[in-house]
A and B are shown apart, each in its own frame.
Chain A
């Protein structure tokens, strides 16, 4: 799976939890998940669990702590997929 495909799947997973649709419309790898997309921190748990389900990977909390932007999430998933 290439980076573009991962990026598109990440956006699809995030979409139901995004409160700032304007930021979503212009989303890039640099978009901040909490500050820009306004995803609630509790819903971020649901997002991470969906990442695990969809990509069939395991993500621990230390990994999650390093994810601030959409690009961080894509890079993390890419590294887990090997």
Chain B
């Protein structure tokens, strides 16, 4: 299973000081608040940690739909390369963060079988917003662009025709279709501000390497 999340650091919602004074206390574990306290750019790190928590929640929720998103219980531990883990009680996710300019893209995976992951993000241009109706249209446009980015890059990586792929939703969960049938891949879409992203995880059949999966599963992605 996997989840991904995007945060646009250029979006006004993420500006420094724009949160409730108790936001950090409410969202972050003590170890994470210590990371923020010694980080040279706490605003950037705040949203990196948030994106990782969100992506881990999306991954775990797919495995167990009753999973509660209690942010401080999703404890993030990242190395300087922004690879790391999220620990949620007895659960454990791998996490990877890609930064491209103002775009924070987090991918979290949790699996019992070996799999490989494809991910990507893209900056999009919004039409100028003149009314609230425009604002709603922008949100719909971003959702559509995230779908298109995923389908284009998955088709390219799998060397199949884009028209063979589609995405359907059951509730909030997107599913990748090939020639109209659901695949075994897990797909996650995200957008925020002027950025869209996706991550897709493909199980590798007939391979049982559960003991080694954490260190050996390949991860690849592109950022545009």
Binding site for B on A (CB under 8 A): 19-25, 38, 40-43, 45-46, 48-50, 60-62, 64-65
Q: Which of A20, A40, A43, A65 contacts B132 (CB 8 A)?
A: A20
Q: Mark B1-28, 1 if CB is under 8 A from A, else 0.
A: 0000001000001100001101100110
Asked if A20 contacts B136 (CB within 8 A), the reply is: yes
* Chain A interface, DSSP helix/strand/loop, else mixed: helix
For A20, A40, A42, A45, the residue with the greatest tally of chain B CB atoms inside 10 Å of its CB is A42
Total CB contacts across the A-B interface at under 8 A:
56
Are A49 and B23 neighbours in the complex by a CB distance under 8 Å?
yes
Q: Are A45 and B23 in contact (CB under 8 A)?
A: yes
| B residues near A25, Cβ cutoff 8 Å | 132
B139 close to A (CB within 8 Å) = yes
- Chain B contact surface mostly: helix
A49 touching B68 by the CB < 8 A rule?
no
Q: What's the minimum C-beta distance from A1 to chain B, rounded to whole angstroms? A: 22
Q: Given contacts A61-B68, A62-B70, are A46 and B19 in contact (CB under 8 A)?
A: yes
Q: Report whether A20 and B68 are in contact in the complex, using a CB–CB cutoff of 8 Å.
A: no
Contacts of B162 in A (CB 8 A): none
CB proximity of A78 to chain B, nearest CB, Å? 21
Q: Which of B22, B23, B68, B72 contacts A62 (CB 8 A)?
A: B68
Q: Is the CB of B13 within 8 A of A40?
A: yes
Show 6 residue pairs from A and B whose CB-CB distance is below 8 angstroms, ordered by the A residue.
Answer: A20-B135, A41-B54, A49-B20, A50-B20, A65-B68, A65-B70
